[in-house]
Amino acid sequence: MKVLANDGLAKGGITALEKAGFEVDSTTVAQDQLVDYINKNKVSVLLVRSATKVRKDIIDNCPNLKIVGRGGVGMDNIDVEYAREKGINVINTPAASSHSVAELVFAHLFGLVRFLHESNRNMPLVGDSKFNDLKKSYAKGIELKGKTIGILGFGRIGQATANIALGLGMKVVTFDPFIESAKLELEFFDHQTVFFNIKTISKEEVLKQADFISIHVPAQKGYVLSTKEFELMKNNAFIVNAARGGVIDEVALVKAIEIGKIAGAALDVFEKEPTPEIQLLMNPNISLTPHIGAATTEAQDRIGTELASQIIEFFKTSK
């Protein structure tokens, strides 16, 4: 049984699959060559992350495919329902990368409130000649403790983000149209545990109350945040998007920053990946990363082993 991990697979996942008798191929095949490659090599399982798209052309023309697996949460690069209608099992790993994404959110937030994203650009350029000027420019940082974070989307990643916020002493307000409340478990290094019951409120109230907004929603048809939503937010609030490109109106975001309504933003995802708009890349009030939310060693190990476990179980039960 052959598995094609077209966007890569962590060693733990490869080892588990090979131990179970699967042949794992880690070749990266170009999108337009996938159908021929899958058929020629009799691939039964196709594993992807966000780069490879599994659309109707692959589903219709690859009769040997039994499983399509997405290493991560969102499956907007896969025609999920169509694949399932055609008898292909579609799997993903919704919990494996939650904490890694949540940590990236706070990496950005810590950087923004202390100007690290900007300081790290300017210190190498003029740190030796304008040290005191830079010191003055970055001397008005703020602390996260005691502030309010608004979380839009309170699934696994949203809840992981809330856990870190609570550990920092922040107030958490959240909106999710499908979740009324959640019981969060905050576990410390010595196994002490504190529980928090968080009730969701309206999106409008979250926007009005929050000093920081973090978005954790799937791909949408329209914007989650645009001019209307920015106007509801506190002056000098911050926004983080480590969810999906296209949930923030990037043109409106830049304008809101330029007029001083929004203090700054952090973007890990973009409407036009992999070629983000230059006005985003050059804006000194935006902290930037190239879609690396799930890109930690630990998360990739969890993703690999979880995919392997699901694949092994599927073929075991389908015999």
CB 174 within 8 A of CB 162: yes
Query: Which residue type sits at 76?
Result: D
Residues 216, 220, 223, 229, CA torsion sign: negative
Q: Is 244 a residue of the active site? A: yes
Q: Which candidate in 23, 205, 273, 277 is catalytic?
A: 273
Q: DSSP readout, 238-294?
A: EEEE-S-TTSB-HHHHHHHHHTTSEEEEEESS-TTTTS--HHHHT-TTEEE-SS-TT
Q: Which candidate in 103, 244, 250, 306 is catalytic?
A: 244
Q: Which candidate in 156, 291, 302, 306 is catalytic?
A: 291
CB 48 within 8 A of CB 80: no
Q: Is 84 a residue of the active site? A: no
Contacts of 39 (CB under 8 A, 6+ apart): 61, 62, 63, 64
Please calculate the CA angle 55-156-199 and round it to the nearest 5 degrees: 130
Question: Tokens in use for 29?
Answer: 């095949």
- Active site residues per annotation: 244, 273, 291
